[in-house]
Structure 1
C-alpha cells in the first residue's frame, strides 16, 4: 500500500513537472513570437518612414529651395518631363551615383542636359544643395553652366547647358579613344582650361572652393575641345586657418584622392592640385588612374609614371602611343615635370593652380621664344647622367628650374611698369625655382591670377598660396 502511494505521488510530481516545463516552453515561444512581431512592426515602421522620406524632398530641402535666390530658372516637373520626351531611355546621356542624365529640348529650343536625382537620402540632398549653391554663384568660361532647377514632391532635377562632345574620360579610355583620339594640342588645351577652372575656384572665388571630385569624367568637352568642369555635388568651401576644411568622411574617386585627404580626412585646396596632376598624367599617358588589368605593382598611374618622368627614355615609354611619333617631346617633358610636381605626396611641395596655369601657358605657346637655345629634350638628356643620383622631389625641382633654359633673356619688369617684383611665399619660390617663376611673371606681364585680381600679388585671397 505504501509502495502504491509512493508511486502515485511520484507520478503526480512528474506530471506537474512535465506540465510546468511545457508551459514554460510555450510561454517562451510566445514571448519569442511576440518579440519577433514587435521587431517586425518596428522595422515596418522604419521602412515606412524611409519610404516616406524617399517619396519626396525633405522639409529642409524644401525650405532651402524656397529661399533660393540664384540666377537659375525654376522649372516645373511637367516641363522637364516634356523636354526629355517622358525621360525616354533613348535620351539618356549617362548615369552615375547621383542619378541619370538626359538630353532634352526646352520649349524655346534650347538643348540641355537634365540630371535627375535618384538618391533621396541625406547625402543625395547635400549633393543637390551643394551643386545648386556652388554653380549658382560661380561663373567661369571653363565651368559648366547651371540653367535651372526643379524641386517638386517626387522630383529633383538640375538643368545644365549641354556640352556636346562627351567627357575627357570617354576620349581617353572609352569608345572615342580609337575613333577620334585626342591630339597633343587638344590635350594641352584641355589641361590649360581645366587648370584655369581650378585656379578660379581656389583663388578668385570667395570663399575659396575645393572641388573634391576633380577627374577626367567630370571634364566635359565642347566641339572645339574647350573643357568645362562639372559635378559640384561634393564641393566644399575652404574656411579657417590654412584654408583647411576638415571632413569626417572621405569622398571622391579612387585613384584621384590625395594621400593626405585619404589618410586623415583633412581636405585642402592642394588636394585638388593632386587630382589635377592625375588628370594631367592621364592626358600624357592615356592610362587610367587605376587599372587592375596592369601587372602587379603597376595598377596605380601615379606610382607607375613617377620613374618615367625625369628622363627622356622614360618619357618616350610613358607617352600615349596614340599621340604618334611626331609628338613634341620638349613640351611633353615640360608637362610631365608639372604633373610630377602636382602629385607630390607632400602638400607643401605641390604648386598652386595659378602657378600650374602659368607654366602650362608656356607649354601651350607656339615655339619656345626666349627660353634659351637648344632643345629641352637634349638638355634633359644631358642632365640625366649628371643627375643620376638625384631622385624624386629634387630631380623634379631640377627639371622645373631648368625647363625653360638657363640663359636669362627677360629684363626686369620695372621698365614696363606693369607690376612690381615682390616676394612670394610657397614651395617653388626659393633658389633656382624662384628665378623660374619670376621669369614666368615677366612673360605674363601681370598677376598670376587671370580673373580680375590686382597685379599686386599681395591683394590675392589667402587661397592663392594654398
Structure 2
C-alpha cells in the first residue's frame, strides 16, 4: 500500500471521528436541555404549566419559576368596560383583598376582578409576576393586575359554579343538594393536589387561608383552590395584618398558629382536615365546632353516623368511610409534626377514591354508569 493511500485513509478516519464526536456532544446538550425543561415545572403532571427558565427571587431567600406567559397588565378602561364601570350588578363578593367583581373582557373571557384602594407600587407587580407563574389544574389562575388611580386590582380566571361551601351548606337553593361520597372524594383529591403543588416549591408556598369557601368548582365540578399566595402578597406590599393576627377563618386555623402566629405547610394540612370534615358532614364547622372535637377524638367506628351527611344515603362503603375519617383525624392532630404531608394526603385520597369507585359503581349491561359533571349535584329525595 502506497504512502499516499495510507495518509488518505488516516485523514478519512479522522473526519469520521470528528463528525461522530460532534454529533455526540450535540445529543448530550439537547438531551440535557430537554430534562431541564421538564424539571422546571416541578411536576410530571401535564396540567402543571410553570414553564420558562427564569427564576424570581423571594425576600428571605428561595425562588419560584417565572411563567413564560407572565402577568398581563390590564388598563382601567378595559376593566371598566368589562364590569360596566364596576356596577353593583357585577359585584359577586368580598374577600380579604377587597371587593370581587365579575367581568367580561372584549375577547370573550370571563374573569373575576379583586379591587382595593391602594397606591401603586413596584412590589405589587413583582409579587403578581411570581404568583401568576404558578399554574396547576387545581389552582385558580392569577391572570394579571391593574394599578391606576390609587387602585390595585388582581384579575383571576372566573370559576362558574362557586365554592364547595355554597353547595354543602350555602344558599337555600344549594343546601338541599346531594353529592355522593365518591364525588366528594374526587373534589377532595383535586383540592389536595392543588395544595400539594404549592407545598412542592422550595421554600413551600403555604396558603395560610385555606378553607371550604376557597375551594371553587368549575362547570365539570373540578375543584380549584383560590387565593393561593394572596396572604403572602398582602404582607409584602402592606395592607395586611401581622402574622400574629392570622387571616384564616378561626375554625380552620392550626392551634399552634393561634399560639405562635407562625405558619408552615402542616398548618395548611390542619385547615385541609377541617375542609374534609365539612365535605363529609355537609355542615359548617364554624357553627358546629363539636364536629372538630368528634373528629379529633375519632376512635369508635360507631360514631360515623353522627358525622356523615345523611344526604349521602348509602352511597359509600363502611370501610371507605372509616379510612376517610381516619385521614381526617390524622390531619386534625393538634401537633403539626404528627400530621401527614399533603403529598401523602393526595395518595391516600386517591387510594380511597379508587376503592370506592370499584365497589360502588353501578353496572349496567357490563358497562359502568357515567355521571356527567353537571349531574353530580342532584336534588335530594
Normalising by structure 2, what TM-score? Answer: 0.68
Q: CA deviation at 1:134?
A: 4.6
Cα distance change of structure 1 residues 214 and 76 upon mapping to structure 2, 3 Å threshold: same
Work out which of the residue numbers 185, 190, 215 in structure 2 matches 1:188: 185
Alignment match, 2:208: 212
Q: Indicate the SS of the match to 1:208.
A: coil
Within a 5 Å distance, the mapping from 1:89-108 to structure 2 comes to 89-108=88-107
Distance across 2 between alignment mates of 1:73 and 1:129:
10
1:161 matched to 2:157: yes
Cα distance change of structure 1 residues 127 and 84 upon mapping to structure 2, 3 Å threshold: farther
Cα distance change of structure 1 residues 368 and 82 upon mapping to structure 2, 3 Å threshold: closer
Cα distance change of structure 1 residues 117 and 183 upon mapping to structure 2, 3 Å threshold: farther
Q: CA deviation at 1:321?
A: 1.3
Within a 5 Å distance, the mapping from 1:284-295 to structure 2 comes to 284-291=280-287, 294=288
Alignment match, 1:274: 270
Q: Which moved more, 1:130-139 or 1:164-173?
A: 130-139
Distance across 2 between alignment mates of 1:327 and 1:127:
49
Q: CA deviation at 1:287?
A: 1.9
Q: CA deviation at 1:310?
A: 2.6
Alignment match, 1:84: 83
Within a 5 Å distance, the mapping from 1:54-453 to structure 2 comes to 71-118=70-117, 120=118, 132-175=128-171, 176-203=173-200, 205-231=201-227, 232-235=229-232, 247-291=243-287, 294=288, 299-307=289-297, 309-366=298-355
Distance across 1 between alignment mates of 2:151 and 2:216:
25
Q: CA deviation at 1:325?
A: 3.1
Output one character per residue of 1:398-423: Cα deviation in whole Å (capped at 9) or x when no partner: xxxxxxxxxxxxxxxxxxxxxxxxxx
Q: CA deviation at 1:103?
A: 1.2
Output one character per residue of 1:14-43: Cα deviation in whole Å (capped at 9) or x when no partner: xxxxxxxxxxxxxxxxxxxxxxxxxxxxxx
Q: Which runs of 5+ in 1 are unaligned?
A: 1-67, 237-245, 375-466
Distance across 2 between alignment mates of 1:301 and 1:131:
37
Q: Indicate the SS of the match to 2:205.
A: strand
Output one character per residue of 1:179-203: Cα deviation in whole Å (capped at 9) or x when no partner: 4333322211111011111111112
- Length, aligned pairs only: 284
Check whether the contact 1:126–1:233 (CA below 8 A) recurs between aligned residues: no
Output one character per residue of 1:110-154: Cα deviation in whole Å (capped at 9) or x when no partner: 111111125x39xx9899669725522211111111122111123
Output one character per residue of 1:68-121: Cα deviation in whole Å (capped at 9) or x when no partner: 997121111010000011111111221223222111111111111111125x39
Cα distance change of structure 1 residues 285 and 129 upon mapping to structure 2, 3 Å threshold: farther
Cα distance change of structure 1 residues 331 and 134 upon mapping to structure 2, 3 Å threshold: farther
